[in-house]
Amino acid sequence: MDAVVNAFTAFSDWLTAIVFYAPTIGGVAVPFIVVWLVVAGIFFTVWLGFMNIRGFSHAINLVRGKYSDPNDAGEVSHFQALATAVSGTVGLGNIAGVAIAVAIGGPGATFWMIVAGFVGMSTKMAECMLGVKYRREHADGTVSGGPMYYLRDGLAAQGKAKLGRFLAAAFAVCMIGGSLGGGNMFQSNQATAQIIEVTGGEDGALGNLSWLIGVIFGVLVGAVIIGGIKSIAKVTEKIVPFMAVLYLTACLVVILGSIEAVPAAIGEIFAGAFTGEGVVGGAVGALLVGFQRAAFSNEAGLGSAAVAHSAVRTKEPATEGFVALLEPFIDTIVICTMTALTIVITGAWNDPDASDIGGVNLTSRAFESVLPWFPYVLAVAVVMFAFSTMISWSYYGMKATSYLFGDNPTAENVFKVIFVIFTVIGAVAALGPVINFSDSMIFLMGVFNIIGLYVLAKVIRSVILSYFGRVQSGEIKEMAHR
């Protein structure tokens, strides 16, 4: 067994080194995967004519149901698809990851998080439109879609069938690995740790009962995912708004309680974005840390959200592209920024030991300086964020498994059982090598996915601009029943 563990650890370290390869340029490490994702965001922002700005109000109207026809093919509404995808991205990274980014890159990292979130809106738009355009609608009314399908079928239509089949299969394998690890075991592990922490730590009532917490999580996750995307969407459409309001309200209490410090904090954010120790080195460091946190948080370019959005009820693929652009806005520009602003205002980031405290604890310390009871709110937020991420990623892994086995419902059911088992394991296991491996799987998804997006760039622009032109001309109207 030790030999197997050592072999897996070595392979995990090797894969992580490749995926997160970061050559040093001018004394600053530049992660390849971050550059890969951000460059794609910039390209599609320009390629689509800044549709992430021009189409923002239309995206809101789509989510409100103003253009929805209940008779269209699909399983969930625009709002439910958005809630499911957001629940998969809004997670511990918004609480812990942002704190680490600000501790390492300073307040200026916040500015670059916002910039990366802005360009990420365009990548999400591109991949989620394709998810609907190339989805498979089954006889029983269910839908299968996502990068596996548009990589295979979309590239085949471009005369690149072999490349498409390879990218689709590689993407599906990586999504399964990411689903079981970062989308499940890590979430279960961190939520369990937070529950134990607020109930007295290792010496508290639940100190030795992590297995029980894991079993409870497994039962709850299983109860939701057994019903597929419709069941998941019914839960996420309720839990996502609640958890977002709960967390943002806590942020606002801190910010409004120190309102006089807000101008100075904003000044630090802008100043830190372009200056710092060694000026260029400090600014580039803040830029890279900010870009990295945004890319890791909102998953733009990874293709995961396209799986959830593929199930939407619509006959116009472009509609879900517009809806999807709201995800990075909610995840990064709103929630991540609020977390960062709170940490900057309270000065928690300036603690000499900030980079060693740990993300969740640093965020907790920032809030606790104003709200002594905040650790309990944080515990609730962590558990809700983790749970919502797990149920969304279960669907992603389920659909990837189904794809590899020829759209087989039995394969989906087997994956659900495996997913629940891994939820319990995640609560009690030491996950270092597992998470390194899983993170590598998740970001390899982005490599395969974005290659396909570039190949399909002309299709993406044609479909989105054609649809938006018909909306502006009045050819596509709001539904009368609204």
Indicate the residue type of 148.
Answer: M
Tell which residue, 349, 287, 244, 325, has the closest CA to residue 116: 287
Q: 2-473 has which CATH code?
A: 1.20.1740.10
Mapped to the 3 state alphabet, what secondary structure does 73-92 carry?
CCCECHHHHHHHHHHHHCCH
Q: What is the mean pLDDT of each run of 10 residues along the chain (482 residues)?
A: 62 72 65 84 94 91 77 71 72 69 76 84 93 84 85 94 94 91 82 77 70 85 77 74 80 81 82 58 52 67 86 85 88 82 76 56 72 75 81 87 85 88 82 72 89 95 92 76 47
Instruction: Please say whether the beta carbons of 294 and 97 come within 8 A.
Output: no
Measure the CA–CA gap between 346 and 367, rounded to whole angstroms: 8
Q: Where are the domains of the chain?
A: 2-473
Please tell me the predicted confidence (pLDDT) of residue 458.
Answer: 95
b/e map 143-163, b = 16+ CB within 10 Å: bbbbbbbbbbbbbbeeebeeb
Please tell me the predicted confidence (pLDDT) of residue 359.
Answer: 58
Instruction: Please say whether the beta carbons of 192 and 210 come within 8 A.
Output: yes
Please tell me the predicted confidence (pLDDT) of residue 357.
Answer: 52
Please tell me the predicted confidence (pLDDT) of residue 277.
Answer: 47
